[in-house]
Amino acid sequence: MSTPADLKYSESHEWVRTEADGTATVGITFHAQEQLGDIVFVQYPEVGRTLAQGEECGVIESVKGAADIYSPLSGEVIAINDALETAPQSINEDPYEAWIFKLRLTDPGEVSKLLDAGAYEKIAAADKD
């Protein structure tokens, strides 16, 4: 699967889509879900929680183990994808549609510190080695 060029990425394998209203939608990348294997549970941050960029804010469990979720940007959690409670495998099926949470950004300038698709692909390729 290709890495969508319209998204931004963190080194910890989260993707970010910035929305026109100043919010950001967050999920995990194809590479991350591929490394995890079949996802069976997602623990997301609580709505209303304020996160700092890089802060651990959730866990994804798979048949292989568990991985932490980190907030790629600072902001307040304004929504969670509660459909993942009954269908966590949707992240495996389409990781760029199966978002995990949404943030109201407190520092939109942080977006410029994230990786573009090309830079992220280099990190993902190195991670496979």
Closest alpha carbon to 116 in 1, 4, 2: 4
Residues in the chain: 129
CA distance linking residue 40 with residue 77, whole number of Å: 23
For the segment 26-45, what is each residue's pLDDT rounded down to a tens digit? 999 999 999 999 999 999 99
Q: Residue 50: what pLDDT? A: 98
Q: Residue 1: what pLDDT? A: 61
- Counting as low any pLDDT under 70, the low residues of the chain are 1, 129
pTM score: 0.95
Closest alpha carbon to 80 in 27, 21, 40, 29: 27
Q: Residue 127: what pLDDT? A: 80
For the segment 56-68, what is each residue's pLDDT rounded down to a tens digit? 999 999 999 999 9
Contact criterion met (CB below 8 Å) for 25 and 17? yes
